[in-house]
């Protein structure tokens, strides 16, 4: 099984300039660990990847979602109130002007990014600044926007699909599978009509106990979608004991009250048969596909049960995220941890990005992380960002 780096050679063939920029982003992340992590006392000179959670709003309510799922709180009138805080386009433009010389890869997500009212002008501005821009979407609004996406030559779209039709709709809502497939069809039609190879499109599937037995059927169906990749994300899970350990740690060491991690205590990891899942993923990886299949994190067969049933055991350690990545939240808050935005570094509405990224709070967080056992905090054990770039634990 392969990790995300498998994407680069695939893109090299189709799009060498895009691939070269992506490779620079990965290199920047590696360099930050080789040099900045070791020598600069909590400062960093690298910026390889910048996430933007553009909006708290979404048109779906997927059961396992840490924001809007069974345990998520970003719903109803609270989400509507929060949406009043979204960052205006002009503030994002100022940020892009400030960071563009570092050429970070951009990852736009949400909520649902298509509900950010200035999405198209924002992507244009980022692309014109020379940045590689990817958009993570639930795909239900792709068909409606297909002509414009292709005309504006978006680089990459990550679309969430969690199973074949019935399974996906049980998780992501009635009719959502069909709408995503219509979205892929519309984009492919527009690419042909406009004579463009952009955007590259891929699926992200989040594994849980409702869908794992159905992933092969989805992978088969996906053969016809014109994809550049299919990522299987083993999913973010936690339990009460981990949440309590993280709560104490963050209170004592970083004066922070946590409120996000508990939303991942969903129970959708329960009962997953790791060996059966491994067998399914192996069959998927063995398929003759026209696109790479990527599992994050790739684990040894006998360790998949550990991933789902012994949540406190780390499979990746030594988080490198704060040395080369940040997430800009919908209200302008800057955080290292995209899924757990409790420890705030500052706000781009009030300060310049680099003032925040190397400010006192950022350095304090980095120094705590570096000094922690295995270079992670108690709540980091299934963090998706660390699954992408953390250090593989021996045997896993």
Identified binder of ligand SAM from the candidate list 160, 238, 295, 306, rule CB under 6 A: 160
Q: Rounded to whole angstroms, what are the CA distances from 110 to 43, 68, 283, 303?
A: 28, 11, 32, 31
Taking a C-beta distance cutoff of 8 angstroms, is the pair 266, 70 a contact?
Answer: yes
Instruction: Please report how the helices 119-128 and 89-99 are oriented relative to each other, as an axis angle in degrees rounded to 10.
Output: 20
Contact call for residues 327 and 252 (beta carbons, < 8 A): no
Strands 105-109 and 333-335: unpaired
Q: Report in angstroms how near the CB of residue 65 gets to ligand SAM at its nearest.
A: 4
Strands 391-392 and 316-317: antiparallel
Binding mask 226-245 for ligand SAM (x = CB under 6 A): -------x-xx---------
**Residue where the block lists tokens 């392969």:** 2
Q: Which is nearer to ligand SAM, 72 or 104 (CB)?
A: 72
Residue 376 is a binding residue for ligand SF4 (CB under 6 A): yes
Tokens representing 225 are 């979608």
The yes or no reply on residue 319 touching ligand SF4 (CB under 6 A) is yes
User: CA 363, CA 356: separation in Å to the nearest integer?
Assistant: 10
With CB cut-offs between 5 and 8 Å by kind, which of ligand SF4, ligand SAM, none does residue 381 bind?
none
- Closest approach of ligand SF4 to the CB of residue 395, in Å: 20
Q: Is 317 in the site for ligand SF4 (CB under 6 A)?
A: no
Q: Which residue has the tokens 């997953």?
A: 272
105 close to 19: Cβ distance less than 8 angstroms: no
CB of 368 to ligand SAM, least distance (A): 25
Choosing among ligand SF4, ligand SAM, none, which partner's interface includes residue 236 (Cβ < 5 to 8 Å by kind)? ligand SAM
- Of 18 and 215, the one with the shorter C-beta distance to ligand SF4 is 215
Binding residues for ligand SF4, rule: CB under 6 A, are: 58, 60-62, 65, 67-68, 110-112, 138, 172, 319, 321, 336-337, 340, 369, 376-377, 380, 383, 385-386
Contacting positions for ligand SAM (CB under 6 A): 58, 62, 64-67, 109-110, 112, 136-138, 160, 204, 206, 233, 235-236, 264, 384
């Amino acid at each position: 099984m392969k990790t995300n780096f498998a994407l680069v050679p695939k893109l090299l063939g189709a799009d060498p300039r895009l691939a070269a920029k992506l490779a620079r982003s990965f290199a920047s992340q590696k360099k930050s660990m080789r040099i900045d992590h070791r020598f600069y006392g909590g400062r960093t000179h690298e910026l390889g990847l910048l996430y933007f959670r553009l909006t708290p709003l979404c048109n779906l309510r997927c059961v396992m979602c840490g924001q809007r799922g069974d345990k998520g709180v970003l719903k109803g009138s609270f989400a509507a109130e929060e949406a009043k805080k979204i960052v205006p386009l002009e503030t994002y433009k100022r940020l892009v002007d400030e960071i563009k010389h570092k050429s970070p890869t951009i990852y736009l997500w949400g909520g649902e990014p298509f509900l950010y009212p200035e999405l198209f002008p924002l992507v244009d501005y980022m692309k014109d600044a020379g940045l590689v821009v990817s958009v993570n979407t639930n795909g239900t609004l792709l068909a409606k926007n297909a002509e414009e996406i292709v005309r504006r030559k978006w680089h990459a779209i990550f679309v969430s699909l969690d199973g074949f039709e019935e399974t996906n709709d049980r998780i992501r809502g009635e009719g959502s599978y069909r709408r995503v497939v219509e979205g892929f069809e519309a984009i492919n039609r527009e690419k042909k009509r406009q004579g463009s190879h952009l955007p590259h499109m891929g699926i992200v599937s989040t594994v849980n106990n409702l869908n794992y037995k159905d992933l092969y059927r989805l992978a088969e169906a996906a053969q016809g979608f014109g994809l550049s990749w299919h990522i299987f994300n083993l999913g973010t899970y936690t339990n009460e004991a981990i949440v309590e350990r993280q709560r104490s740690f963050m209170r004592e060491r970083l004066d922070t009250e946590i409120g996000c991690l508990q939303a991942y205590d969903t129970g959708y990891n329960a009962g997953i048969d790791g060996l059966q899942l491994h067998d399914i993923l192996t069959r998927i990886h063995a398929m003759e596909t026209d696109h790479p299949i990527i599992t994050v994190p790739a684990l040894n067969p006998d360790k998949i049960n550990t991933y789902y049933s012994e949540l406190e055991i780390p499979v990746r350690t030594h988080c490198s995220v704060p040395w080369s990545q940040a997430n800009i939240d919908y209200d302008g808050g800057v955080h290292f941890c995209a899924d757990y935005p409790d420890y705030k570094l500052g706000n781009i509405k009030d300060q310049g990005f680099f003032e925040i990224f190397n400010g006192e709070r950022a350095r304090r967080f980095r120094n705590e992380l570096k000094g922690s056992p295995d270079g992670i905090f108690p709540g980091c054990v299934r963090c998706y960002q660390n699954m992408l770039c953390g250090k593989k634990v021996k045997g896993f």
